[in-house]
Amino acid sequence: MFQHGGGPSLEVLGSEKINKRGQLMSVEMLLVDEHSTLIQGSVPETIQLTFRGRLTEGSVYTLSGFNVTRSNPKFRLSDGPVSIRFNEGTAFKS
């Protein structure tokens, strides 16, 4: 299962969230753990350049240093009640 603060191995499936004016709001991902549990992941627009070139769709990573928040009922990629939100301290390795 996903652990706050580190350890799960996740597969990344990505998309971008764009507002009506065509501006990037966040990079949204569907994360899949070793038990096939799905959870939404989000990288805010303000830090997306930090992760953009380093995360590859379909690749497997181990994450640490992320926030766990309630899922947004208006924009959900999975049925889970919580989502992972990347922050400046989020680290990952393949």
Looking at 17-31, 36-50, 76-90, which range is the least confident one? 17-31
| 38-44 and 82-85 beta bridge pairing | parallel
Q: Token pair 């996740």 is at which residue?
A: 10
| 36 burial level (CB within 10 Å; 0-12, 13-18, 19+) | exposed
Residue 85 CA to residue 63 CA, distance in Å, equals 11
What domains lie within the chain, and their CATH numbers? 9-93 (2.40.50.140)
Q: What is the pLDDT of residues 28-76, one digit of tens each?
A: 888 887 788 888 888 888 898 888 778 877 788 888 999 999 987 777 7
